[in-house]
Structure formats: C-alpha cells, structure tokens
C-alpha cells in the first residue's frame, strides 16, 4: 500500500522543490517589458514587446499547450468572444486610465483587474502566437495589481489564482508554481485552493512522465482536490480521473496519454 502524504508534508514537499522560495531548478530569465504594440491591423495598443521580432500571426513552436481540463479556467464560459481589434483598443484605453489613477488605491486595483481580464481574453483569441504569450504575461502582471494594491478586495484570492494560471499559460512554470503556492499559503479558506492543488497535480503528473518519483506528489495533490464537495467543485471528477490514471501507471499498465 502506498503511503499518502499529509497536506502539511505536501506543502513541505512543494517548498523543498522551490515553491515558496527562490526557485533553484530553473535559472532566472529576464522578462521583456510589457510595451506598446500594433497587432495586425488593430490600432496601436498595449501588448507585445519590441524585443520579439516575430510576425504577429506567426505560430511559435514552444507555445504553451491549451489546458487539458478547460474547467480549470471558469473565465472561458464567460468570454464575450470579441475580436482582437476591439480587445486591443480596450487594453490601450485601460492602460491610459491606469496611468492616471493613484497607485495603491481600490480604483487603481479595479482598473488593473479589468485590464487583466482584457489581456486574458486577448490571449485566448490569439492563442499560439507571440501576441498570446505576451498577453498572458501582461494579464498575470495586472492580476497581481489586485493582489498587492487592494487588501480589502474580496477578489484577491481569485486574482492570485488567475495570475498563477496566466503564468502557466504563458509557459512560465516557475512563476506559476510560486503563485499557486502563495495562494495555498496566504488564502487557506479560499474556494480556489482546490484549483491550485489540481494545478500542482497536473504539473507533477507531467513531470512524472520522465520522473516517476513525482507520482506520489501528484497523487496527494489530486486527493487534496477531493476534500472540496463535488457540488461546488468542478474539478472533483477530473481529480478522480487523474488518480485512476496514476493507479494504472503505478500498477504497471504503462503510460497513458493525457487528453
């Protein structure tokens, strides 16, 4: 019988792997600034850095894969399905408004949240391009504005989760893991804790394909998700499915392709 890790030991395991401290596994990479950009025929707006000399619509080979479990991102169902041009124009307008708002105030944080949501939607409609990657990074940055600038906001934990998810979608696993860890540590009563544990489970699950020692961590992360009742937990069934896959792999059935 496999020994299960307690939630405390799981968190200690996350910390020992670099989640919750300065990551030691991946060298620091300079982040390009979020600078103005013209996207295709759209009006000049905010998005891609000048440092990326790539055609706006040219696919990129190392783009982050779409979420294997779309339910991890509830914003998808709320998407307004706007085109890239209007989204870019809105981002440009919001950047200007943010520049005139007083930092460290609720107003500044509200504009930052709106801007983050806009960037996130823009990333979805341009997925697989350099524009999308940079939009994901910008969304993560502005969700962070809500977390750090408005301590009274009831949406800080949600913004923390979406900041982590945007880092993950941008392909930045180091900052994604750090942000998920901070959500678990700083917002222990949040409804997004189950989402964060599922995210860790997914990352450990992928890592375990080349390092089977990560399966126990993935298993325990998914079991943490099951502590949240299925009526309010859209990832409950998905966590059970992942646990079944892990059980088959550890039972000698061999690798199972992810959906």
Mean pLDDT within 213-224: 95
The ranges assigned to domains in the chain are 7-18+37-49+63-250
Q: Report whether pLDDT(170) > 60.
A: yes
pLDDT range class, residue 18, cuts 50, 70, 90: low
Q: Which of 258, 180, 190 is nearest to 221 (CA)?
A: 180
* Those residues with Cβ within 8 angstroms of residue 204's Cβ, 6 or more apart along the chain or in another chain: 214, 215, 217, 218, 221
d(CA 63, CA 40): 19
pLDDT at position 17: 60
pLDDT at position 14: 67
Architecture of domain 7-18+37-49+63-250: Alpha Horseshoe (1.25)
d(CA 58, CA 62): 12
Largest distance between two CA atoms of the chain: 61
Average pLDDT over all residues of the chain: 79
User: For 57-109, how does the pLDDT look when each residue is reduced to its tens digit (9 = 90+)?
Assistant: 444 444 445 688 999 999 988 877 789 999 999 999 999 999 999 998 889 99
Greater model confidence, 194 or 4: 194
Mean pLDDT within 232-254: 88
Pair of tokens at residue 130: 């350099």
Contact 113, 146 (CB under 8 A): yes
Q: Report whether pLDDT(136) > 70.
A: yes
pLDDT at position 32: 35
Q: Which residues of 127-142 are buried (b: 16+ CB within 10 A; e: fewer)?
A: bebbbbbbbbbbbbbb
Mean pLDDT within 226-239: 94
């Amino acid at each position: 019988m496999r020994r299960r890790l307690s939630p405390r030991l799981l968190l200690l395991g996350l910390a020992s792997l670099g989640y919750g401290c300065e990551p030691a596994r991946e060298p620091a990479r300079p982040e390009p600034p979020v600078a103005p950009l013209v996207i295709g025929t759209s009006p000049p707006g905010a998005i891609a850095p000048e440092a990326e000399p790539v055609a706006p619509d040219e696919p990129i080979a190392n783009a982050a894969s779409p979420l294997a479990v779309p339910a991890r991102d509830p914003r998808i169902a709320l998407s307004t399905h706007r085109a890239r041009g209007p989204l870019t124009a809105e981002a440009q307008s919001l950047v200007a408004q943010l520049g005139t708002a007083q930092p460290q105030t609720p107003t500044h944080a509200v504009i930052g949240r709106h801007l983050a949501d806009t960037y996130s939607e823009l990333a979805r409609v341009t997925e697989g391009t350099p524009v999308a990657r940079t939009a994901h990074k910008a969304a993560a940055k502005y969700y962070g504005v809500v977390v750090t600038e408005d301590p009274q906001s009831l949406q800080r934990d949600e913004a923390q989760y979406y900041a982590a998810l945007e880092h993950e979608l941008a392909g930045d696993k180091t900052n994604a893991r750090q942000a998920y860890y901070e959500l678990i540590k700083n917002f222990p009563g949040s409804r997004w804790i189950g989402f964060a544990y599922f995210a860790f489970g997914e990352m450990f699950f992928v890592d375990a394909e080349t390092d089977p020692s990560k399966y126990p961590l993935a298993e325990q992360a998914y079991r943490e998700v099951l502590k949240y009742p299925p009526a309010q937990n859209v990832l409950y069934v998905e966590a059970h499915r992942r646990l079944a896959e892990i059980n088959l792999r550890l039972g000698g059935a061999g690798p199972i392709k992810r959906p």
